[in-house]
Amino acid sequence: MGAFKPLLPWPPESPLGGLSICGTVVTNVLTAGFIAHVVIGYRSEDLMLALEEQVSPAGHNLQFTENVNWEAGMLSSIQCGIRAVLGNPVGHHGVLVTLADMPLIPAPAFQAIAQAGLDRAQHCNQGVTIFAANNGKLGHPVWIPAANFDIVLDAAPSSKLRSALQVRPWHGLNLAWSGVLTDMDTPDDYRAGH
């Protein structure tokens, strides 16, 4: 990308000093009514300071956990986040996981996936992983019920989250928003993403 991707301006043509890619993701999570628990690794100080500035005053629901082993792979960051949630004395039914480079996921998508996960837990008494989907393709966010934390925590940090989760019951919830599939992996993705 040529720059630190999470802090690139979003949308691309917006002036510096506005929201970044990651700042937009965090803002959407907070707008949906959730606590944003951000796992930071590479350039953690830069990311933490920028996000604290960008999401204020809603930042009281913004928490950070540092993954010192971020080079081990993305799953290591998810494992780090789950461990942090498990250390929180407040009860939890599960977590929503999304990527820092998916600013097109709107707040209602986070709400829909969380609600589907909670409904399954309360009415069916089963912990089912819920993947956001669009046109039958799986994307993010992903609801990981507390009952499935163990399979994520026991997986090799270099493995893929989806593969680890699909060994137990899961469901793809088809949503109207194509942004659940859109991440910014390349400069072309970034320019075309808005």
Give pLDDT tens digits for 23-78. Answer: 999 999 999 999 999 999 999 999 999 999 888 765 578 999 999 999 999 999 99
User: Which tokens sit at 28?
Assistant: 């959407």
Residues 94-128 pLDDT 10s: 999 999 999 999 999 999 999 999 888 777 667 89
Q: Report residue 17 CA to chain centroid gap.
A: 23
pTM of the model: 0.92
The architecture that CATH gives domain 5-192 is Alpha-Beta Complex (3.90)
